[in-house]
Amino acid sequence: MSRSVSKKAAPLPVLQVCAEIFPLLKTGGLADVAGALPSAVRAQGVDMRVLLPGFAPILAGMVSAREVARLPARGDVPAARLLYGRLPACECDAYVIDAPALYLREGGPYADARQQPFADNHLRFARLGWAAAEIANGVDSQWVPRVVHAHDWHAGLVPTCMRQLAVAARSVFTIHNLAYQGLFPGETFQELGLPAACFAMDGLEFYGQVSFMKAALQDADRITTVSPRYAREIQTAEQGMGLDGLLRSRATRLSGILNGVDTAVWNPARDAAIAAPYTAQDLRGKAVCKAALQAELGLQAAPERLLLTVVSRLTEQKGLPLLQVNLPKLLQRGVQIAMLGSGDAELEQAFTAIAKAHPLQVAVRLGYDEPLAHRLIAGADVILVPSLFEPCGLTQLYGLAYGTLPLVRHVGGLADTVVDCSLEALQEHTASGFVFHDFSPEAMDAALRRAELLYGQPTFWQQLQRTGMAQRHDWEAAATRYAGLYRDCWTAAK
Ligand code: ADP
């Protein structure tokens, strides 16, 4: 009896497997989650280590690295050295796969400098799956995880590889975005080192192709996604991206855990990147941030103009074509827009052209710029997130924390976190932003007009700002739920 009590109290070893981690390497919200989770779950009695591919910024961020194992080749997946060391920037210990031929290349983690996915991505990320399974199988005799938590398609083979090695550890798989599934031609299957039986309808075969995402959805012991609403949405044909049937069949194993915000990084009272700090009680610094932003971007210095911002990947998913249609009307109405993003070349060109034609009203910065993202979110009045679909979304949470009212579509995590300023919600002091339903320029424009109208009512505007700023979206709540899930899943396995 006492033995089981003391066992329960011991820290639970959990291996987190991901392709990117903030602040070393980031292409999206996945990196923020991966970076925040190790410290956040430590407080919940979880001993989390991370496994990452040996991309240049990861290796450069590693200290006290030593080789712990030689990982064998699996099929055409090449052998590699497994390093163990510390990532001080992420405040965690990490295993890193040292395989220069796979990971040290020009371009990003998934695609070359021209945005073309690397032709051998199936091998690069199968290496990650096999390495995780080998760690779960005890390749480092000093530390063996009970639970392996894999993120997104890059780590999609983790649960399948774990099954092949018949490890005791359980697997949790988190979907950050079902739209990116890790699909490869069927012929690549034989290179992955998996038995032929895996290439089947109840395995990783997806209409003749190999799907890393489907492999995980079939084989993981638990599946999570990053908001409760998205967990429901992906079980529908509309948002299931062809995997809704499988997700429905696994519904009892599927849950949604809302992402948190790293409040050490995103806090207007202590943000070194912004012109002046401010709090919900004293918003004067926010006006300073707005003036500084207008000056920096060459926008008209006009405190009375509503300043909208977008900080986003420029893709169809993010709903930016809706903004594009509405821009001429917004310009006529005297609104300012400051945009930071990169992605779709057509969208980049279209927005850049509008900024050139209206430099006092529109500023567009292409590329990835973390400090500028802070200055935009602090300086703007409204942050736009008109997504077609949105698993969780982080920028609306930053907007809430910075008193920058989110204008969002009622979908996924956006619907879970922003309350529209209906008259009832205003009366109840629950309103925190502007929400529209239909994915149409007209519906978005109606929300924009509501925002413009309310901006002329400072008392109500500040009420919304304070409601948003009072909300807590830190990692503690999410970490408690992840830690509970790890424990449940390990206990259920015994
Ligand atoms: P997604 O993961 O779909 O891109 P999220 O809203 O979940 O969207 O996360 C996006 C993250 O990336 C946020 O932290 C956001 O601030 C950041 N981000 C997006 N584009 C840029 C950019 N161009 N420069 C700096 N940060 C960016």
CB 393 near ligand 1, within 6 Å:
yes
CATH class of the domain defined by 12-260+476-493: alpha beta
Q: pLDDT (tens digit, 9 = 90+) per residue, 312-321? A: 999 989 999 9
pLDDT value of position 398: 97
pLDDT value of position 493: 76
CB 34 near ligand 1, within 6 Å:
no
pLDDT value of position 327: 97
| pLDDT above 80 (res 58) | yes
Segment 347-365 mean pLDDT: 97
Q: pLDDT (tens digit, 9 = 90+) per residue, 180-219? A: 999 999 999 999 999 999 999 999 999 999 999 999 999 9
pLDDT value of position 4: 45
Q: Whose CA is closest to atom 22 on ligand 1?
A: 368
Confidence of residue 9 (pLDDT cuts 50, 70, 90): low
Q: Which atom of ligand 1 is nearest to the CA of 365?
A: 23
284-470: which CATH number, 3.40.50.1980, 3.30.1240.10, 3.40.50.2000, 3.30.565.10? 3.40.50.2000
Tell me the domain boundaries of the chain.
12-260+476-493, 284-470
- Kindly state the percentage of the chain with pLDDT values over 90: 94
Q: Which atom of ligand 1 is nearest to the CA of 28?
A: 2
| pLDDT above 70 (res 351) | yes
Mutation pick for ligand 1 pocket among 30, 32, 404 (CB with most ligand atoms within 8 Å): 32
pLDDT value of position 99: 98
Q: pLDDT (tens digit, 9 = 90+) per residue, 72-126? A: 999 999 999 999 999 999 999 999 999 999 999 999 999 999 989 999 999 999 9
| pLDDT above 70 (res 239) | yes
CB 203 near ligand 1, within 6 Å:
no
Q: Which atom of ligand 1 is nearest to the CA of 377?
A: 16
Q: Whose CA is closest to atom 9 on ligand 1?
A: 29
CB 370 near ligand 1, within 6 Å:
yes
Most confident of 19-33, 250-264, 288-302: 288-302
Segment 295-311 mean pLDDT: 98
Q: Which atom of ligand 1 is nearest to the CA of 370?
A: 25
Confidence of residue 8 (pLDDT cuts 50, 70, 90): low
The reported pTM is 0.91
CB 311 near ligand 1, within 6 Å:
yes
CB 371 near ligand 1, within 6 Å:
no
Q: pLDDT (tens digit, 9 = 90+) per residue, 139-167? A: 999 999 999 999 999 999 999 999 999 99
* Three-state SS annotation for the chain: CHHHHHHHHCCEEEEEECCCECCCECCCHHHHHHHHHHHHHHCCCEEEEEEEECCHHHHHCCEEEEEEEEECCECCECCEEEEEEEEHHHCEEEEEEECHHHHCCCCCCCECCCCCECCCHHHHHHHHHHHHHHHHCCCCCCCCCCEEEEECHHHCCHHHHHHHCCCCCEEEEEECCCCCCCEECHHHHHHCCCCHHHCCCCCCEECCEEEHHHHHHHHCCEEEECCHHHHHHCCCCCCCCCCHHHHHHCHHHEEECCCCCCCCCCCCCCCCCCCCCCCCCCCHHHHHHHHHHHHHHCCCCCCCCCEEEEEEEECHHHCHHHHHHHHHHHHHCCCEEEEEEEECHHHHHHHHHHHHHCCCCEEEEECCCHHHHHHHHHHCCEEEECCCCCCCCCHHHHHHHCCCEEEEECCHHHHHHCCECCHHHHHHCCCCEEEECCCCHHHHHHHHHHHHHHHCCHHHHHHHHHHHHHCCCCHHHHHHHHHHHHHHHHHHHC
Segment 296-305 mean pLDDT: 98
- Kindly state the percentage of the chain with pLDDT values over 70: 98
CB 309 near ligand 1, within 6 Å:
no
CB 29 near ligand 1, within 6 Å:
yes
